[in-house]
Each structure stands twice: as C-alpha cells, then as structure tokens.
Structure 1
C-alpha cells in the first residue's frame, strides 16, 4: 500500500478532469516521430560538422530520455487510444529501441511505484534512493559531491553499463523472444544511423548519448520527482513534485509533460498532452495551489520561485544542522 494520506478533490474538480482522460491515435505517434526526427537531424549534423558532435550528443540524449517518457505513458495505456497502437509505440520505438522491455517497465512502475508510492520496502524509487546512499546523506556538500557533480561528470558511466547488462538485458534474456526483439530494434536504429552518420553513427550518436546524457537526465529527474519528500503522515500533495523551470531547462527536462509529475500521480491515466490542462483545473483547490506556488525547475527558477536543487540542499542542512 502507499505511504501517504489521500487528498480528496471536490467533485466539481474531478468532473472537469474526467474528459481529459480521453486519449487519441495521433498525438503519441507524432511525439515519437518528433523525437526521432530530432535525433536524426542531430546525428546527421554531428557527422557532417564534427564540431557540432558534442551538441548533437546532448540533443540525442535528451530525446532518448523523452522517448522513455513516452514509454511511461504507454505503460499507463494513454499513449494511444487504440490498444494495438499503444502497444506498438510502447514496445518498439519507445521500448526495445531504448533497451527497455515494456512489460518489465510496466511491472516496476504501475503496480510497484504507483501502487506502493512512498513505501520503504516496495516502492522502487524509495528502494533505489536507499540503495544508492541518497537517504544516508547528511550534508549538502556530501549530496553535491557524491550525487550531483559525480553524476554530471559521468562518474556513474560504468555503473550505467553494468545496469544495462545485468539489469535490463539480463531480464530480457529470461523472457522468451525479448532478446530477439531487442536485437531487431537496435538493428533498425543502427541501420538508420549508419545511413545518416556513417559506420560509427550508431556508436557515437546512439550508445554514447544513451550511456551518458540520457542516464544523467534520468537520474536528475528521479531526484526532482520524490527525493527528500517521502515520510510518514504526509499528504499525496507533499511527496511528489511538479516542476516549473525556465525555458532552457525545459528543453532538456520538460518534454512530453515531464514537468507535471505530481499531476500525473494524482491522475495517472491522463495523456501527457492533457496534464497541463489538468494542472490548471486543480489550481482551484487551495492545497494543490499551495503545493505548486513556489517551486521552480531542477536548476532554474522563474521569478518568485526556488529551484529544486536549492530546496533539497536547504532541507538537508536544515535537517542535519548541528550548532558549533
């Protein structure tokens, strides 16, 4: 069971949200095409003008992370209205192409994370925070050194490779047909990138951004969503964050409704393109409005808001401060 107090929205608010659960058969596919178009253009540009390669890797890594966000929508059955189309988009361009089994992701995300949100033993996010050492951090300096800058400077790159092999691929090896599906998806990506960017295109413009930029963004997003929020006797409005970043941060951290994580947890079946509208409806609720009043993005903060990094650092020091 989840470890929080449910927040009850007024019936009039829930009634306004209800129509926004409706998905369609074009927005999800268009989002997938947009991400792959950006990846293709970046790869072609990076191959043609090598001085653009670092920027291309940044763009590709951010779009790979965006595809995982679409995988997330897919396991909630909201990426497309037609079940077969939702399954295709989730399994292939957003799943196996991203070294991810849609069935595995659904198992750890929907019943485990959503079903046990904030549970120290059963929520994968809570367990991950504990196993990584995040819950043992007692100073802002230790957090910055061990979890922010180390991640940013790719100190976890070898761990990313290990997790890919011993986690995702090992799981697929135990499921009939999954390794063949993974190989087929990667072969299609490799062929396309070889055509666009030469024989090493797959390595430089798929594997490198996936193991570096995409993983860095994924780790930072995990921190922004729930870190320092889990605890006893909290409302569900208090254990998940929405983010309100500046435009430049949104380019990397804000695609496909990623910024509306609290809104998503409150109404998990809503398609990503409707989450902003749901947020605007929920602002009629005083407690929800207060929960979203002052928070910015991970690093950036529009006027009157505070970045989540600043919020986390202040909370760590406030919790563990000791007088001299």
Structure 2
C-alpha cells in the first residue's frame, strides 16, 4: 500500500475509544427522590383514571389493562432509578418511592440493589448475574416465556425472605433463588469486604465482601428483613381481592402479568450475549443495546427512557429523564462506535 493510501485509510478510520469519555457536567444530571415521587404520582394518576374508566365503561377494560400494564412497567423503571441513588440508607422519601413504585412490582430497595448493582459493576463478565448465552429462534421464545413469570415469582420472595430472616439456614437458597447470588462467589460474601466502584467512577455503592458466606452476610440479612413491607403490601392486595375480586384481577393482577411480559422483552433487548473483557467504554458498548426509542417504547416496552440503555450503563446515576440528551452527545461524539438501536 502506498504512503498516500495509508494516510487516507488512517484518516477515515474511526477514532479510537478512550477508556471513559469526558462528558460535559451539565449532561450528568442525577435523579432525586422528589423527582422520582413526582413521576410515580403521575403514573398512579393514570392508573386511577383507568380504574375509574373501567368502573364506568366496562367496554374500555382491554385498553385500560394495557395502559395500566404500561404504567406498572414505568413504576418498575422509576424504582430502578431509585436503586441507583447515591445513598446507603432509605430516607422517608425513599421509603415512599419504594411503596409507590417498588412494592407494586414486587421489589424492595435492598433486594433489587443486591443483584442490579452487581450487574452494573460486572456487565458482560462471568460474574454478571444477568449474563446469558446467545439465544435464537425457539430458545429466545422459551427465554421470554420464562422471564414473563419473573415479576409474579417475585411475590413469593417476600414470605420466603421473611422466613430466611428468622431461619439463617434458608438464607443461602433465598439469596441464590431470589437475589441471583452466584454460587461461584458465595464464599466472597461477608461482613467486612471491599468496595466496588460504579461504572461511571462514582463512589462505591455496594460491597463484595471477602470471607464468611451468604448465610452470615449482613447484606442478605438486610434484604430478607426488607421483605416485610412487600408482604404487607400484597396482603392488602389479597384483602381487596377478597372483597372485590373482579376489580383486582382486571385492575392489577392481569396488568401486572402483562407488565411482566413487557419487562421480559426489555431484559432480552437491552443486553447482548457478547462477553466483556473488562469495564471500559468499549466493553459497555459491546454488551448493552438501546431499544424501544419510539412510541411503543414510551408507552409499554421501554418507558421513562430506559431504552437509552447504553448510556444508562455508562452513567447509572444520571436521571432517566436526562438520558436522551446524554445519548445524543455520545452518538455525536462516537458515531462509528455507538451501537444502533436494537429492533427486537
């Protein structure tokens, strides 16, 4: 190859990726508890309007179920934002977020942080609790069917967790089954530990301790203790179902199942089967994917901008409301490297 041809090839080659991008500070707007409460209140207003419409005009029930399912999915996304807040303990406001956005999707703040923050720290690595093999055809359909049952299955986590809180011998199966603790790292859970930094370089949010085990882990015990709120919430739902079974089935149970289907689609769409080799910008771009950026995403499949998933993994503390601006910056800055949205 001639010198001029070599220079031309070098000039057209994509700019090499840095380990981390120097993002303007004004794009890194973090979520706040008041902001999350405002978003959750809006979704509850939508659901309340649908319940009233179903009571007055029964013929709108199928459409109302879909709208409620989308808002339940949105509540889960709002709660997901709360999990990434830079706090160690739940404030009064954060407890309200948990009640409004966490319990309806059978989640507690402690239990969700346990597996979700580990996923962010180890995305695409063998220790990633969400890591999956490549799926195609019927394997993909089977995975989706299995994931549809995840949210209803989480309802069982509450009573099992309370039993595990009282009976230490149950903490290992509780952690493995409901917190996605990996058996290969069970020996790495204890009271001491070293802190893990988040992917965007923020201060440590979780601990990956270094001795004892799941049975003696303070973190697992805190997760089990936190299940009390979820159990009380669903006992109230059962009491309402005893009095108004038709309303609860159509107004909550069926929409929750539909929302679980939306959630299953999202989990399969936003992560690729690629294996990461570290925690660099290139690794994140390889193992995550954007999806649901159109109107279907806004309503059902990826509400509250959670479909901007690549930049969410790059900057987990950035509020979901500000992810589109952050994504636009990365697309403009790294056009040759930033992956195209996934049509799933």
| Contact 2:305 2:324 (8 Å CA) reproduced | yes
Task: State the alpha-carbon separation in 2 of the partners of residues 162 and 183 from structure 1.
Answer: 13
Structure 1 residue 266, shift from structure 2 partner: 0.3
The equivalent of 1:101 in structure 2 is 108
Matches within 5 A, 1:274-293: 274-286=322-334, 289-292=335-338
Quick check: 1:202 aligned with 2:209? Answer: no
Distance 1:191 1:66, change over 3 A: farther
Task: State the alpha-carbon separation in 1 of the partners of residues 287 and 63 from structure 2.
Answer: 35
Task: State the alpha-carbon separation in 2 of the partners of residues 123 and 280 from structure 1.
Answer: 27
The equivalent of 1:8 in structure 2 is 19
**Worse-superposed segment, 237-246 or 85-94:** 85-94
Unmatched runs of 5 consecutive residues or more in structure 1: 1-5, 297-306, 310-324
Matches within 5 A, 1:137-148: 137=135, 140-143=136-139, 145-147=141-143
The match for 2:259 among 202, 214, 225 is 214
Structure 1 residue 113, shift from structure 2 partner: 0.4
> C-alpha offsets along residues 96-133 of structure 1, whole Å, 9 cap, x if unaligned?
232211100011111x101211122x21211xx35xxx
Distance 1:221 1:161, change over 3 A: closer
**Secondary structure of 2:286's aligned partner:** coil
Structure 1 residue 83, shift from structure 2 partner: 6.5
CA RMSD after TM alignment: 3.4
TM-score, scaled relative to structure 1: 0.69
The match for 2:314 among 242, 266, 269 is 266
The match for 2:123 among 117, 138, 163 is 117
Structure 1 residue 231, shift from structure 2 partner: 5.2
**Secondary structure of 1:92's aligned partner:** helix
**Secondary structure of 2:336's aligned partner:** helix
Task: State the alpha-carbon separation in 2 of the partners of residues 142 and 107 from structure 1.
Answer: 31
> C-alpha offsets along residues 218-274 of structure 1, whole Å, 9 cap, x if unaligned?
110001111333355863211101225332342112322211111010011111112
Structure 1 residue 192, shift from structure 2 partner: 8.7
Structure 1 residue 217, shift from structure 2 partner: 0.7
Distance 1:162 1:90, change over 3 A: closer
Matches within 5 A, 1:11-160: 11=22, 14=23, 16-17=24-25, 20-24=28-32, 26-77=34-85, 84=91, 87-110=94-117, 112-120=118-126, 122-126=127-131, 129=132, 135=134, 137=135, 140-143=136-139, 145-147=141-143, 151=145, 159-160=149-150
The equivalent of 1:295 in structure 2 is 341
| Contact 2:289 2:310 (8 Å CA) reproduced | yes
| Contact 2:292 2:301 (8 Å CA) reproduced | no
The equivalent of 2:288 in structure 1 is 240
| Contact 1:25 1:85 (8 Å CA) reproduced | no
Quick check: 1:230 aligned with 2:275? Answer: yes
Distance 1:188 1:271, change over 3 A: farther
Task: State the alpha-carbon separation in 1 of the partners of residues 151 and 318 from structure 2.
Answer: 33
> How many residues are matched?
267
Distance 1:30 1:194, change over 3 A: farther
Quick check: 1:257 aligned with 2:305? Answer: yes
> C-alpha offsets along residues 170-201 of structure 1, whole Å, 9 cap, x if unaligned?
23443465454224434666789999xx5532
**Secondary structure of 1:174's aligned partner:** helix
TM-score, scaled relative to structure 2: 0.66
The equivalent of 2:6 in structure 1 is none
Unmatched runs of 5 consecutive residues or more in structure 2: 1-16, 166-223
